[in-house]
Structure 1
Amino acid sequence: MKIYFIRHAETVHNVGQTWAGTTNSALTNHGVLQIQRLAAFFRSAAVKFEHVFTSDLSRAVITAEGICNPNISDAQVMVTPLLREQHFGSREGIRIHAATTASRSPPTVEPEPAETEESMRTRANRFLEEYLFPVLLSYDDDQTEKDSAIAIVAHGIILRVLWNCFMHAFPLGNVSYSPEVDALLATRGGILVPFWSNTGYMELSVSRMSTTPSTRVESLLSGWTITVLSVDNKTHLRDLRRTRGGIGSLQHDTKQRSIESFFKR
């Protein structure tokens, strides 16, 4: 079984280097092309998602729906606020550089604090316990060896928190890495701190070693193995160029049939 941790496509806030945690940020034209590339890549690799989970913020929902259309017909996209990005408090909607500069000046009003790491861990663990782990534990041994696939579409910071919570549920000795990821670890002191570009994904291979008769999630997951196959995989974006003239960075107009409508034929 494969699990894909996927970050949403590019947004206008990404391009504008603006804090947008729980703020809904529109996709750019380039972001739409990223989704199309990712969907085509999964289709060519014969990846068919049986379960798709996404943050309820529009940039994640649109990304999730985009990769599902050509790949699955039966599974529905499961939307949950548990996968939302960190709320940045008073920094929401402010340019990153401006927020950094402002932080050096005495505040005129009490700033709204950002969501804490503990709060994000609570959300991540709830998602695992209420959504992902029940799905994993519903598979029998044969199903985990087949080409089953699960997608989790969310945001850079919450994906990192989710990954850490996910890994803590499995015995350390049951986790291995592909040669590609091993090479990455060698450059980072042997510690995996994952990161995500827009539509970049982490790919995991998960399988069950044995069936353990227990009602505890921790005990059940001790019979599973994980192989981290790739981190921030952007193979699908190879040779993708941003449309010139600033068009690629513009907010995508959902009324347009395709980006080609920008150009005269």
Structure 2
Amino acid sequence: MHLFFIRHGETEHNVAGLLAGVSDSRLTNHGVLQTQRLGRYLTTHRNLRFTQIYASDLQRAFMTAEALQRNLLTRLSGEEVPGVVKLELLREQDFGSLELVPWTSRSAQHTLNPRVPNSEDTSFRPQETTEAMVKRADLFLNDFILPLFASAEDARDTVQECVAVVSHGLFLSVLWQTLLGKFSTRNVALGPNIEGWGNNRPLEYLPPWTNTGFLEVTIQKRTAEVVTQPWNDRSLILTEIEQSAFSGYSMTVHGINSKDHLLDLKRTRGGLGSAPYDAKQQSLDGFFKRSESNSSST
């Protein structure tokens, strides 16, 4: 299995520095350009054929996933292109009463921000715990990823599964840690592109995801022990569960927060890039060109 964990494109609340969480934040114009670059890069430049596409049901994630789907449709027949499966399981952490307040309020006392009710207030909503997010991650892996391995065993001549999971930065970190924890440390390896990653930084603690940045791994039947990288025994603190559903598999990490598709992508000036995307704009590129032309003539 070829598996991608992808963060959504830039949103209006990313630009404003607000905690969006489960709020249905819109993509900016720049964010839409990021998703278009992502779709072209993975499906055309990398020539990947996704067999499954899962996304959070919040628009910033499923619109990013739809960009992958649209690019696949330019190369394959409709019957060969999977639909985007929208899942509440893949939503971002619910920040409760901290929704849509500045990021700095997350670590501050509630009383320091008049917009955040006190924890004793009847209207106060606590934020979702890490434990609850782990349960969601486990449910997703058990209900949507593991069955794909069983299907592959039943149909050995089918195309190898290539799976995109489009979600949100904090939840993707939890999802990654949950997946990684299902593998024995000796069965996880780094690919040649990232062998020197992190200076022995624990692999479960990845840097923050860039908008449309992606983690890329392959999971394969274990035929021999994976060669252990130096960080495995020193840095990872994982339980080796030999009876795990993944115990017969090994995993190779090929990319961490990959963003080659964003090279040379610059934000449109005049505030247009940071403005919320309007779906009525048929051609984003054309919209920007017209706007720049109007700016230069005034």
Find 1:162's aligned residue among 159, 167, 175.
175
Q: Which residue of 1 aligns with 2:265?
A: 240
Moved more, 73-82 or 111-120: 73-82
Find 1:231's aligned residue among 252, 256, 265.
256
Taking the aligned partners of 1:245 and 1:11, their CA distance within structure 2 comes to 17
Give the TM-score normalised by the residue count of structure 2.
0.80
Q: Is the 8 A contact 1:204 1:228 kept in 2?
A: yes
Taking the aligned partners of 1:63 and 1:191, their CA distance within structure 2 comes to 26
SS in 2 for 1:6: strand
Q: 2:118 matched to 1:109?
A: yes
Q: Which residue of 1 aligns with 2:17?
A: 17
Against the structure 1 CA distance between its residues 143 and 153, is the aligned structure 2 distance closer, same or farther, given a 3 Å change threshold?
Answer: farther
Taking the aligned partners of 1:113 and 1:173, their CA distance within structure 2 comes to 38
Q: 2:62 matched to 1:61?
A: yes
Alignment of 1:40-51 (within 5 A): 40-42=40-42, 43-51=44-52
Q: Which residue of 2 aligns with 1:181?
A: 194
| Number of positions where the alignment pairs a residue of Structure 1 with one of Structure 2 | 259
Q: Which residue of 2 aligns with 1:71?
A: 72
Q: Is the 8 A contact 2:182 2:244 kept in 1?
A: no
How many angstroms does 1:190 deviate by?
Answer: 4.3
Taking the aligned partners of 1:142 and 1:177, their CA distance within structure 2 comes to 29
SS in 2 for 1:86: coil
* Higher radius of gyration, 1 or 2: 2
Taking the aligned partners of 1:83 and 1:178, their CA distance within structure 2 comes to 27
How many angstroms does 1:15 deviate by?
Answer: 0.5
How many angstroms does 1:218 deviate by?
Answer: 4.2
Q: Which residue of 1 aligns with 2:88?
A: 81
How many angstroms does 1:71 deviate by?
Answer: 1.6
Taking the aligned partners of 1:109 and 1:133, their CA distance within structure 2 comes to 42
SS in 2 for 1:205: strand
SS in 1 for 2:219: strand
Q: Which residue of 2 aligns with 1:93?
A: 100
How many angstroms does 1:219 deviate by?
Answer: 4.7
Q: 2:132 matched to 1:119?
A: yes
Against the structure 1 CA distance between its residues 113 and 144, is the aligned structure 2 distance closer, same or farther, given a 3 Å change threshold?
Answer: farther
How many angstroms does 1:137 deviate by?
Answer: 2.6
Unaligned ranges ≥5, structure 1: 211-216
Q: Is the 8 A contact 1:47 1:147 kept in 2?
A: no
Q: Which residue of 2 aligns with 1:203?
A: 216
Taking the aligned partners of 1:71 and 1:222, their CA distance within structure 2 comes to 33
Moved more, 16-25 or 200-209: 200-209
> 2:201 corresponds to which letter in structure 1?
G
How many angstroms does 1:95 deviate by?
Answer: 2.0
Taking the aligned partners of 2:48 and 2:269, their CA distance within structure 1 comes to 32
Unaligned ranges ≥5, structure 2: 224-241, 294-298
Give the TM-score normalised by the residue count of structure 1.
0.89
How many angstroms does 1:108 deviate by?
Answer: 6.0
Q: Is the 8 A contact 2:180 2:204 kept in 1?
A: no
How many angstroms does 1:139 deviate by?
Answer: 1.1
Taking the aligned partners of 1:148 and 1:130, their CA distance within structure 2 comes to 16
> 1:109 corresponds to which letter in structure 2?
N
Taking the aligned partners of 2:71 and 2:176, their CA distance within structure 1 comes to 27
- Per-residue CA deviations over 1:62-117 (Å, capped at 9, x if unaligned) read 01111111225331211111110000111101122356556363976334211000
Against the structure 1 CA distance between its residues 219 and 108, is the aligned structure 2 distance closer, same or farther, given a 3 Å change threshold?
Answer: closer
How many angstroms does 1:202 deviate by?
Answer: 0.3
SS in 1 for 2:270: coil
- Identity level (%): 36
Moved more, 80-89 or 66-75: 66-75
Q: Is the 8 A contact 2:176 2:204 kept in 1?
A: no
> 1:68 corresponds to which letter in structure 2?
Q
Taking the aligned partners of 1:198 and 1:252, their CA distance within structure 2 comes to 15
Moved more, 131-140 or 61-70: 131-140
Q: Is the 8 A contact 2:24 2:58 kept in 1?
A: yes
How many angstroms does 1:223 deviate by?
Answer: 1.4
